[in-house]
Amino acid sequence: MSLEPAHQSRLWTFTIFLIGIALTSALVPASAAQRKVNHASAWGPMFRSQVERCWKKPVGGDATVEAAFKINLTRDGLLAEQPVAENPAISDYHTEYQKSAVQALNACQPYKLPIEYYDEWKFFIPIFSERDRKAKDDLFYPRNPSICRGC
């Protein structure tokens, strides 16, 4: 069966087009969002349970208090530097709440976390919160430190 030259040309162009699409999709790297797979659901509860054992929350206070800290951990699970509060304390209770969280972060080290996820947990922001977390995508429940903003 012989095709007309015009039909052969269109078929050839279409074939080259498909090959180009296949090569482009193979050569173009995945976006940052596609490459970044987050395993916080694996290591997050491990971190939280370790911190909870050391956390002595101040009594009384505000049911909406929240304290977030930037932390940097070594591969051995030690704090590479002291936790840094994301926001200044706004009340005496908030100051005590932040102090209790920093004491817990210091007292519980070294953290035993999966080394294969070190790139995720070497720097993150644990959030100690009394706020009622009812959103179904939250990782943790009220009265527990939530551990990961943006994970």
Tokens of 60: 């009384």
Tokens of 5: 């030259």
pLDDT in tens, 47-60: 999 998 999 988 88
Average pLDDT on 60-82 reads 91
Q: What is the DSSP letter of 64?
A: T
- Partners of 146 in the β-ladder: 127
- For the chain, list the strands marked E by DSSP: 66-72, 84-85, 123-124, 127-129
Overall average pLDDT of the 58-65 stretch: 82
pLDDT at position 150 over 70: no
Q: What is the pTM of this model?
A: 0.66
In CATH terms, the fold of domain 40-129 is 3.30.1150
Boundaries of every domain in the chain: 5-35, 40-129
Q: Is residue 28 over pLDDT 50?
A: no
